[in-house]
């Protein structure tokens, strides 16, 4: 099941979302690049992003205003230097995408800018209500036309390769990775002086999520096993408005619906946000998600309603064509009816600890996009700051790699699976996967307590033991690897949450309901 002959590249990029594709395009003119993705190139969270890209593109707006909005949403934990870095480079990123041919929505010959929760100005560049898909499609087409890029679909990251672990002398550094090629069922050795993790977030650790099935925290877990720090994993953003429907999972109702006047209501038509925040439906996501959670529990509801039907039908269809069409397929005419919505796990604000060049603690290893902690998001991500973060750090990491040549890798041992067999009971994996996602939703969700976190920690420890035994005895499969990564990420989330004795941003604890005077990131160091 292992392939003896290693594959060599200058740069390995794990993940085919906006961050990974952007980095590949920046590096390909001078380097031999491989993009590994565990499913198809278009499977990932970037293509699901509806809202848009936050950037100061209007003279009436300012960098200072965008920075301030980000810091406010981050509840005191956003790093000011990282925030300024992203905000000031955001317009260049939008212009780069324009140069590649992304068909951004326009009005009167200019970019149409919409507004979303937490923003003090219209600064969201978008492609109607399907920005991520349009950007992803454009970049994939460019990558396919670039000769120096090799695309390897259905390749699942198993583990990073560190020089210290394979007995190579000198300072410890990343030498590449092992990946499961699902088409041949072989574990392949990939060698490269530089590796970039762009694997996205970990929303699938929760029962309800807006994320695709690929969001299993693979990069975060692999970097942690390799000895890298992770930071702020307790801050999981729950999007307030995921479509509630028995035949559909994961369909997000964009923040922009509220930005364009959408109102949250109880089933009797009562608007409830005035009871929770003066910013009403345009309050930051953590505020709105907790408000919905409160009202659902108070009234025993399965969902609440989001109503945009007071806007003219032509306006709704023009601004939200994909949401309109999807809901209509399900029998909901959003020009005449409210949309049933619930909160769902949406974005991983923490991740692998990096600097402004995307460098991790392990030389030769960078991390960009949702899998990384850059300091931008703090305790809560401001709407539409995610896609621009992908692009800004894809460029800064690429610039750092181009300026920092590393020596060739040398010999690396092939993956050894000589002492394992095929699994006889794969049902163990599916049962553990289901158990994990359910107790994470129940115990480590929007509202937390010490008792709930302790219960989750106990169950995680039992799952870790079972998965370790399974991993040690049987051939690896994608399901097993994803479960292993999700349990690792769940452990990091719970440990981080237990360490924060306050309520701040996305982390709300009934045992520590007040916010501490001093904001300190939660950084975990592997033992």
pLDDT tens string 50-79: 679 999 999 999 999 999 999 999 999 999
Structure confidence by residue, pLDDT tens digits, 379-394 = 999 989 999 999 999 9
Report yes or no: 181 and 469 within 8 Å, Cβ to Cβ. no
**Domain stops at, among 345, 374, 389:** 345
Q: CA 120 from chain center: how many Å?
A: 24
Q: Give 248's pLDDT tier (boundaries 50, 70, 90).
A: confident
Q: Which of 221-230, 345-354, 424-433 has the lowest mean pLDDT?
A: 424-433
Q: At what angle do helices 478-499 and 450-473 cross, to 10 degrees?
A: 150
**Which residues in 457-486 are b (16+ Cβ under 10 Å) and which e?**
bebbeebeeebeebeeebbbbeebbbbbbb
For 7, the 3-state DSSP assignment is strand
Q: With a cut of 60, say whether residue 1 has pLDDT above it.
A: no
Give the residue carrying structure tokens 């198809």: 40
Record the tokens describing residue 26, joined without a space: 């920046």
Q: What are phi and psi of 444, to 5 degrees?
A: -130, 40
Residue 324 domain-assigned (yes or no): yes
Taking the CA atoms of residue 422, residue 427, residue 431 and residue 436 in that order, the dihedral angle to the nearest 10 degrees is: 20
Q: What is the rounded CA–CA span in Å between residue 324 and residue 309?
A: 11
Using CB atoms within 10 A of its CB, is residue 205 exposed (0-12), middle (13-18) or buried (19+)?
buried
Record the tokens describing residue 118, joined without a space: 């937490």
Residue 468 domain-assigned (yes or no): yes
**What does the pLDDT average to over 426-450?**
91
Q: With a cut of 70, say whether residue 133 has pLDDT above it.
A: yes
Record the tokens describing residue 220, joined without a space: 């975060």
Structure confidence by residue, pLDDT tens digits, 73-98 = 999 999 999 999 999 999 999 999 99
Contacts of 297 (CB under 8 A, 6+ apart): none
Residue 260 domain-assigned (yes or no): yes
Q: For the chain, what is the mean pLDDT?
A: 93
Give the residue carrying structure tokens 């950007």: 135
Q: What is the rounded CA–CA span in Å between residue 55 and residue 144?
A: 28
In total, how many domains does the chain have? 2
Q: What CATH number does residue 462 fall under? A: 1.20.58.100
What pLDDT score was predicted for residue 422? 81
Q: What is the rounded CA–CA span in Å between residue 194 and residue 407?
A: 10
For 178, the 3-state DSSP assignment is strand
Q: With a cut of 60, say whether residue 376 has pLDDT above it.
A: yes
Q: What is the rounded CA–CA span in Å between residue 463 and residue 479?
A: 15
Residue 156 domain-assigned (yes or no): no
**Domain stops at, among 293, 316, 345:** 345
Strand order in the sheet with 263-265: 236-243, 339-348, 304-307, 263-265
Residue 255 domain-assigned (yes or no): yes
DSSP letters for 424-457: S-THHHHHHHHHHHHHHHHHSSSSB-HHHHHHHH
DSSP letters for 352-372: EE--TT-B-SSTTEEE-GGGE
What pLDDT score was predicted for residue 494? 98
- Residue 285 is among the residues annotated as catalytic for this protein: yes
Report yes or no: 339 and 305 within 8 Å, Cβ to Cβ. yes
DSSP H or E run through 497: helix 478-499
Give the residue carrying structure tokens 């399907």: 130
**Domain stops at, among 289, 313, 345:** 345
Q: What CATH number does residue 244 fall under? A: 3.90.700.10
Opening angle at CA 310, ends 256 and 120, nearest 5 = 35
Residue 263 domain-assigned (yes or no): yes
Q: What is the rounded CA–CA span in Å between residue 505 and residue 502?
A: 10
Q: What is the rounded CA–CA span in Å between residue 509 and residue 491?
A: 18
Q: What are phi and psi of 335, to 5 degrees?
A: -80, -15
**What does the pLDDT average to over 505-518?**
96
Q: With a cut of 90, say whether residue 491 has pLDDT above it.
A: yes
Q: With a cut of 90, say whether residue 333 has pLDDT above it.
A: yes
**What does the pLDDT average to over 141-154?**
96
Using CB atoms within 10 A of its CB, is residue 81 exposed (0-12), middle (13-18) or buried (19+)?
exposed
Q: With a cut of 90, say whether residue 293 has pLDDT above it.
A: no
DSSP H or E run through 255: helix 255-259
Residue 281 domain boundaries: 240-345
Residue 281 domain-assigned (yes or no): yes
Residue 438 domain-assigned (yes or no): yes
Q: Give 49's pLDDT tier (boundaries 50, 70, 90).
A: low
Q: CA 343 from chain center: how many Å?
A: 16
Q: What is the rounded CA–CA span in Å between residue 371 and residue 419?
A: 32
Structure confidence by residue, pLDDT tens digits, 148-202 = 999 999 999 999 999 999 888 889 999 999 999 999 999 999 999 999 999 999 9
Q: Which of 115, 258, 285, 359 is catalytic?
A: 285
Task: Tell me how far CA of residue 298 lies from CA of 75, 207, 303, 505, in angstroms.
Answer: 26, 21, 12, 22
Q: With a cut of 70, say whether residue 273 has pLDDT above it.
A: yes
Reference 480, options 492, 471, 491; nearest CA is 471
């Amino acid at each position: 099941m292992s392939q003896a002959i290693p594959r060599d590249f200058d740069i390995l990029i794990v993940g085919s979302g906006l961050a990974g594709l952007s980095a590949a395009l920046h590096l390909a003119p001078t380097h031999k690049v491989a993009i590994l993705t565990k499913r198809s190139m278009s499977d990932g969270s970037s293509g699901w992003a509806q809202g848009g890209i936050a950037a100061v593109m209007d003279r009436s707006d300012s960098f200072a205003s965008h920075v301030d909005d980000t810091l406010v949403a981050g509840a005191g934990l956003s790093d000011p230097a990282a925030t300024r870095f992203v905000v000031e480079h955001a317009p260049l990123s939008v212009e780069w995408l324009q140069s590649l041919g992304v068909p951004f929505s326009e009005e009167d010959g200019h970019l149409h800018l919409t507004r979303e929760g937490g923003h003090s100005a219209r600064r969201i560049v978008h492609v109607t209500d399907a920005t991520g898909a349009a950007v992803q499609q454009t970049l994939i087409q460019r990558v396919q036309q670039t000769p120096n890029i090799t695309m390897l679909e259905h390749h699942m990251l198993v583990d990073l390769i560190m020089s210290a672990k394979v007995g190579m002398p000198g300072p410890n550094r990343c030498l590449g990775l092992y990946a499961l090629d699902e088409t041949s069922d072989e574990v392949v050795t990939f060698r490269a002086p530089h590796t970039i993790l762009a694997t996205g977030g970990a929303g699938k650790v929760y029962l309800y999520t807006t994320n695709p099935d690929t969001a299993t925290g693979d990069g975060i877990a692999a970097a942690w096993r390799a000895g890298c720090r992770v930071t702020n994993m307790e801050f999981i953003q729950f999007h307030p408005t995921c479509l509630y429907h028995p035949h559909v999972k994961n369909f997000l109702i964009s923040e922009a619906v509220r930005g364009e006047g959408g109102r949250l209501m109880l089933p009797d038509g009562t608007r409830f946000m005035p009871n929770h925040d003066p910013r009403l439906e345009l309050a930051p996501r953590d505020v709105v998600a907790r408000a919905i959670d409160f009202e659902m529990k108070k009234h025993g509801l399965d969902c609440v309603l989001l109503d945009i039907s007071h806007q003219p039908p032509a306006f709704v269809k023009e601004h939200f064509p994909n949401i309109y069409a999807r809901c209509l397929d399900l029998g909901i005419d959003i020009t005449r009816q409210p949309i049933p919505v619930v909160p769902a796990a949406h974005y991983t604000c923490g991740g692998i600890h990096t600097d402004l060049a995307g460098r991790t603690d392990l030389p030769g290893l960078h991390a960009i996009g949702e899998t990384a902690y850059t300091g931008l998001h703090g305790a809560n991500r401001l709407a539409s700051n995610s896609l621009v973060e992908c692009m800004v750090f894809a460029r800064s990491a690429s610039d750092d790699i181009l300026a920092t040549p590393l020596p060739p890798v040398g010999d690396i041992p092939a993956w050894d699976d000589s002492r394992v067999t095929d699994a006889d009971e794969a049902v163990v994996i599916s049962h553990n996967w289901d158990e994990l996602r359910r107790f994470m939703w129940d115990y480590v969700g929007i509202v937390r307590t010490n008792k709930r976190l302790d219960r989750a920690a106990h169950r995680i420890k039992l799952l870790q033991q079972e998965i370790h035994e399974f991993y040690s005895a049987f051939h690896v499969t994608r399901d097993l690897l994803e479960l292993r990564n999700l349990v690792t990420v769940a452990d990091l989330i719970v440990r981080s949450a237990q360490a924060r004795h306050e309520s701040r941003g996305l982390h709300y604890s009934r045992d520590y309901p007040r916010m501490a005077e001093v904001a300190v990131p939660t950084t975990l160091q592997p033992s």
